[in-house]
Amino acid sequence: MTQQTSQAMDDLLTDLRAALPPHTLVTDPTERDTYACDGLAAYRVRPGLVVLVDTAEQVAATVRACARHHVPFVARGSGTGLSGGALPHADGVLVVTSRLRTLHEVRPQDQRAVADPGVINLQVSKAANPHGYYFAPDPSSQQICSIGGNVAENSGGAHCLKYGFTAGHVLSLEVVTPDGEQVTLGTEAPDAPGYDLLGAFVGSEGTLGIATRATLRLTRMPEDVRTCLAGFASTDEAGSATSAIIAAGVVPAAIEIMDALAIEAAEKAVSCGYPEGAGAVLVIELDGPEVEVAHELERVRQLCDEHGCSEFRAATDAAERAEIWKGRKSAFAAVGRISPDYIVQDGVVPRTSLPDVLREMGRISRERGVRVANVFHAGDGNLHPLVLFDASQNGATERAEEVSGMILDLCIEHGGSITGEHGVGADKARYMPRMFSEEDLDTMQLVRCAFDPAHLANPGKIYPTPRMCGERPRVVHAADEPVVAGAEVF
Amino acid sequence: MAVVDLLSGACAVRPAEDADAVDGVPAQAVARPADAQETSALLRACHDAGLAVVVRGHGSKITWGRAPERVDVVLETGGMAGLVEHSRGDLVATAGAGMPLDRLGELLAEARHQLVVDDLAAGRGADGAGSTLGGAVATGMCGPRRLWAGPVRDLVIGVRLVLADGTVARSGGKVVKNVAGYDLAKLLTGSYGTLAVITEVTVRLHPEPQEEVSVRARVSPDRLEATLALLVRSQLAPHTLEVSAAPGSDPLVTVGLGGSPGGTRQRADAVATSLASPDLAGGSVAVVDPGTPEDELPSGLADVDQQDSPAGTSTTRPVLVRTTGRLSGIPELVRVATDQGFGVTGSAGVGVLHARLPEETPPEQAHHALEQLRATSLRLGGSTVVLDAPPAVKSGLDAEATWGPVPGLDLMRRVKAEFDPGRLLAPGRFVGGL
């Protein structure tokens, strides 16, 4: 910390002590260390100050003080993000919104819920379920991740294929802009007049401000849900079956692939009883009106058969459905059983490229001697390769990181994306220039310049080199050089 | 130097004619770039010369919003009308902004795919050609089937755009799931050509249902609330849920279903049985197969337009309004609209209605009716926007009266100032006089 930034932080603290109750301010270094990373533990930075806000007004007061003293700030919800989106700034303030956890309203007649940013994703559905509704975006971490984090990262989960991203399920947001102003974006009804700032804000990873309240769209629970499991000899066949299902006009609620290594891990962890010897399995969930689901189930069964399915099971009740999902849902954690360390990658390829990309990944894996387990949302081509390694072996971490990067390059080569739901964060900012041209990135940052000309909101995330805003002198807060503590283990 | 000469090095340019005026504002030249590069060259030249540019596809919605303060150049997107890619296995397609929506529909239908965007301006524009893809995106045009597939903003997964200074950029991509970088496609959707020129759009497609059936019921106004509540809560996953009403007649409720052969009909029968309850529509329920003579289903704006002119021939300029509210407020919104003399139709399952006053409505009466409707929609959590109006009515509406209160307007001004600091793209057309 330079003398100048230290002085700014002292001045800021003086202001915040006057404006906020004492219990909201965390200054003790050890306590601050608790917040040094989010779900991506590979990067750690001790925040300069942590503010545990109780109200939206406190968020605004904190951000206003940051603007006054030119101190960067980073928002954090539950801290489950996997791209370092909530990685703190050493000379900045970490605004923790997890205490803002009031679910203000569930209005089934309007298909709406109004939630604070710290409300846990699953809590919204639990409150809406008795009325016959649920909140469709369901990241795998939905038991712990917060709505504010979902909004920041546009994190959707397995059901995006049919139900779309988080962005399609947020009707309006109350936000604190980087100059500390409280503004509402959107209206409770769709098609609010003006630019779709709401659409730009969702997924902006905390770089345009902090959401302090969200009006969410609830989805009617389907009349029927059927989950099936199909075993294949290889991911090639499973991938082809996936494409065939989509091409046939069936849009499942979810369609997930696990390869042999992921199956092996899941079996070891939870004995999920997936087809023996399968090189890949598909978990397919169909939902909707009973008569349509029955029709689609037959079609899916037939298409799986045509693409070499060795075993097909359709759950007949909730218990069997849970049994099928058990393997898939435990897969990430289960990988810990077969490897001491692993990197979870998040990339997207066009669905039709899946077989090619998987083959190519297999080749890279063999050539580099790094095992890669695959678990992913096949329906929308969102890959989550798990790159396995043992950090205690010389050079293993570097090799795993190299393979992880090569997989992203593969995604870009095939016209895909470097992230489907985890965000770019601190982790992948360096890959953005591989996916987008300088002009693309500069144009995106025009939005940033409109919201945050001083670059105080979550600096160093998404964009590797912030753009200069207008003719103003360049004021750029680069990301801290994080301490890399080896690949994440979670 | 004449504008045409100034721009002729960039792309095909011709002098503007009377018919090229934009909502009464005459233009000097009409430019027709063939691709993003020519668009870039054109905009750079306009930028250097300080020329104002208004983008036009078929012109079917060119009078929507405020009339621009000035128009030097009309940029026609018709030179960028090709299908770039239709990736059948990925259910995505990329096309030029000038691609006619109906032509795109024909091309996609070969694979039994569709872009689920209803052309509310069908029959309007040049030779009644209806909307282009770019025009649909620029105006955020959404019709009945948004209930099923979402609004156009959620179907656009990538755009190529050219900024006012000629910078060519891209946002999004060609995969459905993608969260890398800011979603400029959403920002541009519904921006009325005031932030950038869209040259190419990548969209998410949906399979055509194997069967489609509609159920239509005439309900008395006092039963509309119960009827809509029942349908909104239905688990039958309708693709559309429309309500249409005209002053002095009972509202018409239409439920559109799509899906498997047989299954769709079975669901339609279930809807019909529910609606036939004496507390709801009673006996006035009909199950309608597509393509039959009874199949005169309301299709959003087109239906409103057609209340006093046959399809495809409408040249009138009614007061055309988009009004929104929370779902439970839709019956009230319908009632207030019809009480004020509006014909109304829209997506009761989404909360968006289109309303129309006859062209001959005296301006003062129109202004009063708008105020009443807006007050109701605001109270119901929504908004009321005047999309179009006859010149006599429009001239009495400033930007605020056209667009209503706009949450986040100051931020929008800042966004406009970053994207188009010289105010060269459709100046004055959008909210807050942007």
- The residue of chain A nearest to residue B387, with distances taken between CA atoms, is A193
Q: From CA B224, how far away is CA B251, in angstroms rounded?
A: 7
Prediction pTM value: 0.95
Question: Cβ of A132 and B324 within 8 Å?
Answer: no
Q: Is B110 on the interface with A (CB under 8 A)?
A: no
Identify whether residues B218 and B200 lie together within a single domain.
no
Mutate to test the interface with A, among B90, B182, B271, B414 (most CBs of A within 10 A): B182
pLDDT at residue B10, as a whole number: 97
pLDDT at residue A221, as a whole number: 96
Overall CATH class of domain A3-96: alpha beta
Domain boundaries, chain A: 3-96, 103-220, 224-328, 339-421
Instruction: Kindly state whether residue B388 falls inside one of the protein's structural domains.
Output: yes
Tokens at B364, concatenated: 């003062």
Chunked mean pLDDT (size 10), chain A, 490 residues: 83 97 97 96 96 98 98 97 96 98 97 98 98 94 95 91 94 98 97 98 98 98 96 92 89 94 91 91 96 96 97 93 89 86 93 90 95 91 93 94 96 96 95 96 96 96 85 45 41
pLDDT at residue A471, as a whole number: 53
Q: For B166-190, what is each residue's pLDDT tens digit? A: 999 999 999 989 999 999 999 999 9
Identify whether residues B202 and B218 lie together within a single domain.
no
| Residue bearing tokens 């359709």 | A314
Question: Cβ of B190 and A161 within 8 Å?
Answer: no
Question: Cβ of A443 and B382 within 8 Å?
Answer: no
Q: Which fold has domain A339-421?
A: Alpha-Beta Plaits (3.30.70)
ipTM of the complex: 0.96
**Contact partners, residue A116, CB within 8 Å, separation at least 6:** A97, A100, A101, A102, A103, A104, A147, A148, A212, A213, A214
Shortest distance between the Cα of B1 and any Cα of chain A, in A, equals 31
Q: Which fold has domain A103-220?
A: 3.30.465
List of chain B residues with pLDDT < 50: 297-313
Helix (H, G, I), strand (E, B) or coil at B387: strand
Identify whether residues B198 and B217 lie together within a single domain.
no
pLDDT at residue A421, as a whole number: 92
CB atoms within 10 A of CB A41: 16
Question: Cβ of A194 and B176 within 8 Å?
Answer: no
Task: Kindly state the helix (H) or strand (E) to which residue B107 belongs, with its residue range.
Answer: helix B101-109
Identify whether residues B111 and B29 lie together within a single domain.
yes
Which of A220, A221, A380 is facing B177, going by the closest CB pair?
A: A380
> What is the CATH number for B236?
3.30.70.100
Return the number of CB contacts < 8 Å for A and B.
288
Q: Is B380 on the interface with A (CB under 8 A)?
A: yes
> What is the CATH number for B382?
3.30.70.2740
- The residue of chain A nearest to residue B166, with distances taken between CA atoms, is A439
The one-letter amino acid code at B321 reads V
Instruction: Kindly state whether residue B304 falls inside one of the protein's structural domains.
Output: no
Domain extent at residue B378: 319-397
Q: From CA B342, how far away is CA B323, in angstroms rounded?
A: 11
Identify whether residues B144 and B233 lie together within a single domain.
no
Q: From CA A166, how far away is CA A157, in angstroms rounded?
A: 9
Question: Cβ of B190 and A196 within 8 Å?
Answer: yes
Nearest Cα neighbor of B56 from B13, B22, B11 is B22
Identify whether residues B179 and B235 lie together within a single domain.
no
Which of A111, A248, A419 is facing B180, going by the closest CB pair?
A: A419
Identify whether residues B419 and B272 lie together within a single domain.
no
Instruction: Kindly state whether residue B302 falls inside one of the protein's structural domains.
Output: no
Could you say which DSSP state residue B431 is in? G
> What is the CATH number for B12?
3.30.465.10
Per the structure, the count of domains in chain B is 3
Mutate to test the interface with B, among A154, A187, A250 (most CBs of B within 10 A): A187
Mutate to test the interface with B, among A380, A443, A463 (most CBs of B within 10 A): A443
pLDDT at residue B294, as a whole number: 61
SS3 for chain A is CCHHHHHHHHHHHHHHHHHCCHHHEECCHHHHHCCCCCCCCCEECCCCEEEECCCHHHHHHHHHHHHHHCCCEEEECCCCCCCCCCCCCCCCEEEECCCCCCEEEEEHHHCEEEECCCCEHHHHHHHHHHHCEECCCECCCCCCCEHHHHHHHCCCECCHHHHCCHHHHEEEEEEECCCCCEEEEECCCCCCCCCCHHHHHCCCCCCCCEEEEEEEECEECCCEEEEEEEEECCHHHHHHHHHHHHHCCCCCCEEEEEEHHHHHHHHHHHCCCCCCCCCEEEEEEEEECHHHHHHHHHHHHHHHHHCCCCEEEECCCHHHHHHHHHHHHHHHHHHHHCCCEEEECCEECCHHHHHHHHHHHHHHHHHHCCCEEEEEEHHHCEEEEEEEECCCCCCHHHHHHHHHHHHHHHHHHCCCECCCCCCCCCCCHHHHHHHCCHHHHHHHHHHHHHHCCCCCECCCCCCCCCCCCCCCCCCCCCCCCCEECCCCCC
Q: For B373-425, what is each residue's pLDDT tens digit? A: 999 999 999 999 999 999 999 999 999 999 999 999 999 999 999 999 999 99
Question: Cβ of B179 and A441 within 8 Å?
Answer: no
CA A232 vs. chain centroid, Å, equals 29
Identify whether residues B110 and B231 lie together within a single domain.
no
- The residue of chain B nearest to residue A467, with distances taken between CA atoms, is B418
Instruction: Kindly state whether residue B109 falls inside one of the protein's structural domains.
Output: yes
In A, which residues are within 8 Å of B351 by CB distance?
Answer: 189-190
Nearest Cα neighbor of A448 from B187, B175, B153, B432 is B187
Domain boundary among B288, B304, B329: B288
Identify whether residues B325 and B424 lie together within a single domain.
no
Helix (H, G, I), strand (E, B) or coil at B162: strand
**A3-96 and A103-220 in the same fold:** no
Instruction: Kindly state whether residue B136 falls inside one of the protein's structural domains.
Output: yes
Overall CATH class of domain A224-328: alpha beta
Nearest Cα neighbor of B7 from B51, B37, B55 is B51
Cβ pair A285, A329 in contact under 8 A:
no
**Contact partners, residue A178, CB within 8 Å, separation at least 6:** A63, A67, A208, A209, A451, A452, A454, A456, A457
Identify whether residues B151 and B100 lie together within a single domain.
yes
Identify whether residues B163 and B222 lie together within a single domain.
no
Identify whether residues B342 and B408 lie together within a single domain.
no
